Homo-oligomer: A and B are copies of this chain.
Amino acid sequence: MKSTLSQRTINRLTQYYTILRDYSKKEIKNITSSQISQLLDIDETQVRKDIKSINCKGKCKVGYSVFELKSIIEDVLDYNVIKKVYVIGAGNLGVALSKYSKFSEFGLEIDGLFDCDKSKIGKFIDDKEIYDINQLSKKIKETGINIAILTTPNKVAQDICDFLVKSGIKYIWNFAPSILIVPKDVKVWHENLIGSFIQFCAIENIK
């Protein structure tokens, strides 16, 4: 079902999920589309449409069951299916992403970092070890992990990308600000932080 949802809908559902998680922790049982709408500054009709699209039904004057809506979003977006990944580059961005608490709540588990800097290798970021990049191929054979988050500087991104492909990585979530060239059987998702900011400026007419 997930693949039939638009990027915008997926983005909004993850935001609803963040609220539902907070409500669930506070043991609040119900939530209305109006509450979600106000918290996220999203049109209420849109909220209702999104929730209807994943087949969750609310009750008049009561709203949605927090438990039910949370469970449905988890199912629809596969948050319960653990996806293990490696982070390539143990610089500020690699470390920040490894510490990003929200990832694990959404089924994304960082299994380790890789770097070529000998002063970093063997150290831990929380419970995640920094490995020697030369061990990547061996690690992939052991674990079967084939998703990498690339956080290296721009100037080495393509070289490291080539190395990842040779080592057996099939999916690359690329945070380096450059377009990577890969074989057809490897897929790259170019993270586009600046695109996100530019849209914010456009919507709010920031000059």
Contact = CB atoms under 8 A, between A and B. Distances in A.
B22 A171 contact: no
A156 interface: no
A194 B14 contact: yes
A157 B147 CA distance: 30
Interface size range of chain A in the complex: 35 or more
A55 interface: no
A52 B61 CA distance: 48
A119 interface: no
Interface of chain A: mostly helix, strand, loop or mixed: helix
Contact of A92 (B95, B147, B201): B95
Contacts of A8: 7
Interface in A110-145: none
Contacts of A108: 194, 197
A192 B15 contact: yes
A14 B39 CA distance: 29
B92 A14 contact: no
A197 B97 CA distance: 12
A86 to B, nearest CB: 14
A28 interface: no
A199 B39 CA distance: 23
B190 A15 contact: yes
Interface stretch (A43-51, A64-72, A159-167, A181-189): A181-189
Given A14-B198, A190-B40, A196-B191, A203 B95 contact: no
7 contacts: A14-B194, A15-B179, A41-B188, A92-B93, A101-B154, A106-B194, A187-B204
Given A15-B192, A81-B207, 5 more contacts: A5-B202, A14-B198, A39-B179, A93-B96, A147-B206
